[in-house]
Structure 1
Amino acid sequence: MRIGTLDWVPAADRPELLAAPVARALGGLGEPAGEVAVAAIDPALADTAAFCERYGVALEDSANCVIVAARRGAETRYAAVMVLATMRADVNGVIRRQLDARKASFAPQADAVAMTGMEYGGITPVGLPEEWPVLVDAAVAARPHVVIGSGVRGSKLALPGAALARLKTAEVLSLAQ
């Protein structure tokens, strides 16, 4: 696989480059796990714009995972939202309605890190709590390959967009503004 200037290897061969929940989830994916590659990066360059510039990855080949807190009454539910780096997630429109919430917002950083067991800037939909929906923008699902977080800031995953759409709790929608 060739995306940017990175040296990609099968993720299953380099579990030390993954957050523990991500490594466990890849083991449970079965056949799609073979489609997932990992590459080590400078942790200081994990944020999308810096990463893409340094490693020659097109923004449209990079997808961001944001954790959304959806509230209705006293109940708060969480979901992961995947959009291309060139797009903005419509949190207060499509996503709020999809999650049947009165209010939706980005989850506080400390909460997202604590609940996922992943590092901020590396959170990924692979390995999230099983009850969380994963809302995948249709443009992400259509990409032949997307680069996403690995659960840590020191590496990235690359996989077909369709593999994200096959995650157990994934729903493919038009989520971007």
Structure 2
Amino acid sequence: MTEQPHAPFGTFESVSAALAVADLLADPVADALKNWDDREAAESVLYVDTDPGKADTAVFCETYGAPLEASANCVVVAAKRGGETALAACLALATTRVDVNKAVRKHLEARKASFASMDAAVAETGMEYGGITPIGLPAGWPLLIDAAVAEAPYVLIGSGRRRGKLILPGRALAQLPGAEVLPGLAG
């Protein structure tokens, strides 16, 4: 008999191994977990079932007793250079803000960087707005992770849908395809 997993923080009625409930995840997220080369990292991911109406970070943390400093937000950035626009994702703790104008722009060697539109972020990721997560991003996208996220014992991130969240060790996020850990990405 397998033991029921427990979340390292928060008060959630339902906690499952994410791989066991892949049908509850956005398709790109489920596919990425199933095909993640780092099996230990994939198996460390927990899914907590939550109210989609309470998906926004501050409301979520208050409702479920999750510490804001253990929550991370994934934002999609559009970087422009030489008439071309490339998309990238950035992951930072919810207590900080991604430095798009300096850190991201400089790292991506872009002339200009800004947050991608909601429509572009949703269309390109195949995920719901408010649930976009670094797991399952399009192939070839850079994933810039603030060092504080990678150093966190556990991090709460989106599941690709507004319903439910994922919890995993910060170090596992650094193992995702295209991931680059950057000190000072957020402040």
Residue number in structure 1 paired with 2:144 = 135
Partner of 2:186: 176
Query: Is the CA contact 2:8–2:154 (under 8 Å) kept in the aligned structure 1?
Result: no
* Partners of 1:98 and 1:144 in 2: CA distance: 26
Provide the secondary structure at the position in 2 that maps to 1:81: strand
Q: Does 1:9 align with 2:16?
A: yes
Which residue in the other structure is 1:24 paired with?
31
- Using the TM superposition, give the Cα deviation of residue 9 of structure 1 relative to its aligned residue in structure 2, in angstroms: 1.2
Worse-matched range after superposition: 53-62 or 29-38:
29-38
Q: 5+ unaligned residues in a row in structure 2: which ranges?
A: 1-6
The corresponding residue for 1:67 is 76
Identity of counterpart residues, as a percentage?
58
What is the CA-CA distance between 1:139 and the residue it aligns to?
Answer: 0.2
Shift of 1:73: 2.0
RMSD after superposition: 0.8
Cα shift readout 1:70-115 (whole Å, capped 9, x = no counterpart) = 0012110111100000001000001110011000000000000000
Amino acid at match of 2:155: V
Unmatched runs of 5 consecutive residues or more in structure 1? none
Note if contact 1:2-1:8 (Cα within 8 Å) is conserved in structure 2.
no
Residue 67 of structure 1 aligns to a residue in which SS?
A: strand
Which one of the candidate residues 107, 123, 127 is aligned to 1:118? 127
Matches for 1:101-116 after TM superposition, within 5 Å: 101-116=110-125
Aligned to 2:3: none
Q: 1:145 aligns with which of 151, 154, 166?
A: 154
**TM-score normalised over the length of structure 2:** 0.93
CA contact (8 A) 1:148 1:158 kept: yes
Query: Aligned-pair distance for 1:3?
Result: 1.6
Q: Could you give the per-residue CA deviations for residues 133-174 of structure 1, whole angstroms, max 9, x where no partner exists? A: 100000000001000000000010000010111112100002
Which segments of structure 1 move beyond 4 Å, counting only runs of 4 or more? none
Alpha-carbon contact 2:97-2:186 (below 8 Å) kept? yes
Cα distance in structure 1, aligned partners of 2:151 and 2:105: 23
2:166 is aligned, of 142, 157, 165, to 157
Q: Secondary structure at the match of 2:74?
A: strand
Read off the aligned partner of 1:134 and give its amino acid letter: L
